[in-house]
Amino acid sequence: MKHLKSALLLAATSLACGAASADTGKLLLTGGVSSIDGAAGGGLTPWATIGTNATDGEIGTSAFFTRTATQDYSLNIVGAALGYKDRFELSIARQDFDASPATALNGIAAFGVQPGQHIKMDILGLKLRVAGDAVLDSDTLMPQIAVGLQYKTVDPGSIGSVFKFLDAKTQDTDFYVSATKLFLAQGILVNGTLRYSRANQNGLLGFGAGAPGKDSATWLPEVSVAYLLSKNWAVGAEYRAKANNLEDLGRAAGLGNALAEDAWKDLFVAWAPNKNTSVTLAYVDLGRVVPGITAQRQQTGYYLSAQVAF
């Protein structure tokens, strides 16, 4: 994973040079966009669809950039994906989280958090379609089904001392299964994902926690619904449950709900002016993200993502 940044640059270069062989492409927006973890789907959660424009017998590539900003935090993400014969997907992503408010933790203990500290996380994703075809089965009740994993490694910088206090790991793997059903005639797409994870805030605050926090992985539901207004426009909503591993540990340390974690939600609109580009804008509600240092504010804001696919 230490060479992930170079791999991202190589993937972007391959795109620019036209390395992808996929040319026919899928129906606009039916393959989803790039999620925050790099896998194809909605903005917050993966779908069973395979990313890029590759269909059966083709190889495709894609790349994306995403920015999310709330009252107290911001997150920039860059990533790329390879789709093989609409069956297999390999994705990589790097998240850069501005954790500047974390300097307030120095008032609790001598954590040594540096001003302007960023947390960076690298994600390697694999996804395999195991049954169904979202488009070809759109006139039946059969969904497209895929299984996947996301291997995550976190570089917390000077916040590493906080990770030690929480007894949170800096690397772990999420496993998930997704089912995506496209009702093409009605222009409706529904996705359900079950994720097996012990990630704190998707992994940006590490994985698991010391007792009495939760250190074992659990199955967490994620749901997406999209309505195709036209072949170029879609609107929808997402919900992603979170494990909330840290809150009990915080309470035992006398911090109340300072480490609480809530479900993530969004309302989005996606626009695909052509088969190679798409832009997604969303209103996001991330709930409480370490509310003890942000005056208990709900973290709401915007999500903007741009993708190119071949």
Question: Is the model's pLDDT at 11 over the cut of 60?
Answer: no
Average pLDDT over residues 256-268: 96
The rounded distance, in Å, linking the Cα atoms of 192 and 189 is 10
Question: Is the model's pLDDT at 1 over the cut of 70?
Answer: no
Average pLDDT over residues 211-219: 96
| Cβ contact 135:182 at 8 Å | yes
Average pLDDT over residues 221-226: 97
Question: Which residue pairs from 171-174 have beta carbons closer than 8 angstroms and sit at least 24 positions apart in sequence?
Answer: 171/207, 172/197, 172/198, 172/199, 172/203, 172/207, 172/208, 173/149, 174/149, 174/150, 174/199, 174/203
| Cβ contact 97:69 at 8 Å | no
- To the nearest 10°, the Cα dihedral for 308, 229, 55, 6? 20
The rounded distance, in Å, linking the Cα atoms of 80 and 93 is 7
| Cβ contact 7:92 at 8 Å | yes
Tell me which of 16-25, 51-60, 107-116 is least confident: 16-25
Least Cα distance to 177 among 189, 194, 191 occurs for 194
Average pLDDT over residues 109-123: 93
The rounded distance, in Å, linking the Cα atoms of 213 and 94 is 27
* 132-191 residue pLDDT tens: 999 889 889 999 999 999 999 999 999 999 999 999 999 999 999 999 999 999 999 999
The CATH number covering residue 238 comes to 2.40.160.40
| Cβ contact 269:235 at 8 Å | yes
Domain carrying residue 24 = 4-309
pTM of this structure: 0.91
Supply the DSSP symbol for 13. Answer: H
Question: Is the model's pLDDT at 306 over the cut of 80?
Answer: yes
Q: Count each helix (H run) and each strand (E run) in the chain, helices first.
A: 3, 14
151: number of CA atoms within 13 Å, CB side? 8
Average pLDDT over residues 222-244: 96
pLDDT cut 70: percent of the chain above it: 92
Question: Is the model's pLDDT at 37 over the cut of 50?
Answer: yes
Average pLDDT over residues 238-249: 97
Confidence label for 16 from pLDDT (cuts 50, 70 and 90): very low
User: Residue 24: its pLDDT value, please?
Assistant: 54
pLDDT, greater one: 264 or 11: 264
Supply the DSSP symbol for 231. Answer: S
Confidence label for 12 from pLDDT (cuts 50, 70 and 90): very low
Question: Is the model's pLDDT at 25 over the cut of 70?
Answer: no
The count of domains in the chain is 1
**Helix H or strand E segment including 302:** strand 300-309
| Cβ contact 154:118 at 8 Å | no
User: Residue 158: its pLDDT value, please?
Assistant: 94
